[in-house]
Structure 1
Amino acid sequence: MEIWPFNLRHLQAVAKIARLGTINAAANAVNLTQPAITQALARLEGQLGLPLFERRHDGMAPTEAAELLVPRIEAALAHIASPHVTMARLRALLALADSGSYAGASILTGLSLPSIHRAVNDLALAMRRQLVERKGKAVALSDTGNDLARSFRLARVELETGLSEIEALKGHETRRIAIGAMPLSRARVLPAAVTRFQRKHPQVRLSIAEGSRAELVDPLRNGALDLMIGALRDPLIEAELSQQPLFEDQPAVFGRGDHPLAGTNADPSELARYPWTVPAHGAPLRDTFERLFNEAGIEPPRVPIESGSVMMIRQILIDSDFLTLLSPDQVAVEIEAGWLARVATPPSGFGRTIGITTRANWRPTEVQREFLSDLEAAARDVPGRRRS
């Protein structure tokens, strides 16, 4: 069920009815007449296919559907934070942001060009902000427009989540979980959690986007992802994000199967004689790599190739004397096949905290909470891992 046929003011009225208990009180709060709110509620219940309230002599009692939907409406309105936003204006600005042009927005939504122009212009006038800047023949959102689009995306996510919960209540499973998977999470923990979850909820769609933290953090902020799994950052510099540790991972040094140092548990001075491939600066593994040598009083060896791709690193190691620092889980198959071998194990204290990153104000649905529980269970089941 799409959010666009719904009226934001009517949704706000429903939220007020739920919080204030009567249509009269809600009418005063949203500046609508009682008949108008009554009609709006009837229309909304018709659109949803479920009653939102039980009509009682002492007021309106929210049904289970309203208990699911109202918090999502309130969260969406908090992101929108303006009485001047209509559903049409919200849709037009998001389409312009996503497509990069008015023509693209028209194609994306199926609305006419004049409708898109009018909605965006009316929103800018009502908010007294410049939302769009012209750059020659092209247009782009201003900084204010981009900030507003991010808030609108989060509002859209809240409303879509609320509607999916309503559909699930009716027996039509439309819920989905969008997961950002950083390299280490893909080795064992995330696949184990996914299979565990899917046995219980085969109808829930799981969408997994792979990438580095730098590639995934903006989609997480914008609401395109629900959560991100991988190495946590300490300290966490983004105030709008929240982290939950799962376990501690102990990386090791690896080289090709017949590397001169294979099986020796080489010390840092020996490791420093060879070239390395590790992720770029800013990645936790790069910090661990540099600390390994700095704490031994040795200049870190050169890194001619910076990469966070395990597939790329694997092939580089197989064909050369390069070394790398990885979790044993990430190259378990290669070690078993004899392609790669452990060269050294850093001392304790060089581990990474692996966990879940979400938006700080994220309110998981029931199935999302179950998936989080399955992630925790999968982390507990990984052999030799210490829970954080």
Structure 2
Amino acid sequence: MTDLGFSQLCNWLRFRHLVLVDTLARTQNMHATALEMNISQPAVSKMLREVEKQLGFALFQRLPRSMSPTDLGAHVARYARIALNDSRHFVGQINHLRQGGHGLLKIGSIYAATSVALPAAIVGVKQRWPLLTLDVLEGTSADLLNMLEHKQLDLVIARFTSDRHRQLFEFQPLAPEPLCLVTGSQHPLAGAHELPLGELGSWPWIVPPTGTPMRMRLERAFAEAGMQTPENTVETLSLRTILQLLQTAPMVAMLAESMVGPDVQAGRLARLALPFPLVLADYGIITRRDESPGWSAQALIEELLSGADAQRAQQSLR
């Protein structure tokens, strides 16, 4: 079996081949792929055989009820998806520029950053580039990093959740994320000068999904206090749902201080007195390694770093 050369690949590979591989990897069904691509099933089968012949290996296992990717096929499908997402972004940028805009910047951010750091940076960028379209998506670090890897986002403001991310991405720290325990203002624990740790686990809790950095920090805090993690829980990342539940039910939640500050000041929530600090590792700007950010991404990065420097300088004066 001879190795595949880059020039050889460029001579025969077409975007339609990438669409085929991506679609079949998602549907794992020849008929569904034909419907989605609007071609006949024999045409799908013929195109797949051509691609596999050129690559020199099978991309999919022919099973009775499905066509699951082989190990090499999964690798090809991953890069097909990345290439197609990159091309969609290119087309969107070109169309936007032709219509008089300054392009499109797709940003992923965890919830803590969208409450402070990101809005200020967006204001700064829009003052310089008013026709630049900014598309902001909130989510968990793990989900956002997966989208960044597949070129569905240009940059992410989040934190690493696995060692694998350190190999794929560059990281520029912005700020730590102090956490606090909060309840509704009518909760029996609200206003208590000392927090009865032994009782905390008996209350209903609102918690982040399993595997998120905030959930892991919460579980570690209970373990360090020699307590059992609460079993009566609601799992959600929806800030609106969390705030509504806290104000209408006797529940407890651990949230970033920046997310609940206004509600605490307005008296809608109460911050509980804690005998130990709750801080997550720094969140920061994450970009794909060995790939220079575009001019719009770089403009936002500069604003974010400038804002972080100003925040640190302000804190040092207190």
Could you state the TM-score of these two structures normalised by the residue count of structure 2? 0.78
Equivalent residues in 2 for 1:200-279, closer than 5 Å: 200-233=128-161, 236-238=163-165, 239-264=167-192, 266-267=194-195, 268-269=197-198, 271-272=200-201, 274-279=203-208
Distance 2:39 2:105 in 1: 29
Task: Give RMSD over aligned pairs.
Answer: 3.6
Q: Residue 252 of structure 2 is aligned with which of 323, 336, 339?
A: 323
- Return the offset for 1:252: 0.8
8 Å CA contact retained: 1:99, 1:108: no
Distance 1:188 1:200 in 2: 20
Distance 2:37 2:103 in 1: 22
- Return the offset for 1:211: 2.4
Equivalent residues in 2 for 1:93-242, closer than 5 Å: 93-97=21-25, 116-136=44-64, 138-156=66-84, 173=101, 175-233=103-161, 236-238=163-165, 239-242=167-170
Instruction: State the Cα deviation string for residues 227-246 of structure 1 (Å, max 9, x = none).
Output: 2223443x633332343221
Distance 2:278 2:286 in 1: 22
Counterpart residue number, 1:309: 238
Distance 2:11 2:147 in 1: 27
Gap change, CA 1:259 and 1:171, over 3 Å in 2: closer
Counterpart residue number, 1:283: 212
Partner of 1:249: helix, strand, or coil?
Answer: strand
Query: Are 1:337 and 2:269 an aligned pair?
Result: no
Distance 2:173 2:251 in 1: 32
Distance 1:216 1:338 in 2: 33
8 Å CA contact retained: 2:86, 2:152: no
8 Å CA contact retained: 1:230, 1:356: yes
8 Å CA contact retained: 1:167, 1:174: no
Higher relative CO (Cα under 8 Å, sequence separation at least 6) belongs to 2
Identity of aligned residues (%): 24
Gap change, CA 1:168 and 1:363, over 3 Å in 2: farther
Bigger-Rg structure (1/2) = 1
Query: Are 1:377 and 2:301 an aligned pair?
Result: no
- Return the offset for 1:82: 7.6
Instruction: State the Cα deviation string for residues 330-365 of structure 1 (Å, max 9, x = none).
Output: 123422332211112464473431113333233311
Gap change, CA 1:290 and 1:137, over 3 Å in 2: closer
Distance 2:35 2:132 in 1: 29
What runs of 5+ residues in structure 1 fail to find an aligned partner? 1-8, 13-29, 32-80
Instruction: State the Cα deviation string for residues 213-267 of structure 1 (Å, max 9, x = none).
Output: 343333222111222223443x633332343221011111101112233234534
Distance 1:93 1:200 in 2: 41
What runs of 5+ residues in structure 2 fail to find an aligned partner? none
Give the partner amino acid of 1:353. D
8 Å CA contact retained: 1:183, 1:309: no
8 Å CA contact retained: 2:264, 2:270: yes
8 Å CA contact retained: 1:164, 1:174: no
Gap change, CA 1:254 and 1:156, over 3 Å in 2: same
Distance 1:335 1:349 in 2: 17
Distance 1:112 1:202 in 2: 46
Partner of 2:152: helix, strand, or coil?
Answer: coil
- Return the offset for 1:275: 3.6
Give the partner amino acid of 1:148. V
Instruction: State the Cα deviation string for residues 276-308 of structure 1 (Å, max 9, x = none).
Output: 322233222222223333334x31441421333
Distance 2:65 2:38 in 1: 22
Distance 2:101 2:289 in 1: 26
Give the partner amino acid of 1:278. V
Instruction: State the Cα deviation string for residues 10-66 of structure 1 (Å, max 9, x = none).
Output: xx8xxxxxxxxxxxxxxxxx69xxxxxxxxxxxxxxxxxxxxxxxxxxxxxxxxxxx
Give the partner amino acid of 1:225. L
8 Å CA contact retained: 2:198, 2:227: no
8 Å CA contact retained: 1:232, 1:356: no
Distance 1:230 1:265 in 2: 34
Instruction: State the Cα deviation string for residues 189-231 of structure 1 (Å, max 9, x = none).
Output: 2222223222322333322233223433332221112222234
Distance 2:175 2:222 in 1: 25
Distance 2:123 2:31 in 1: 42
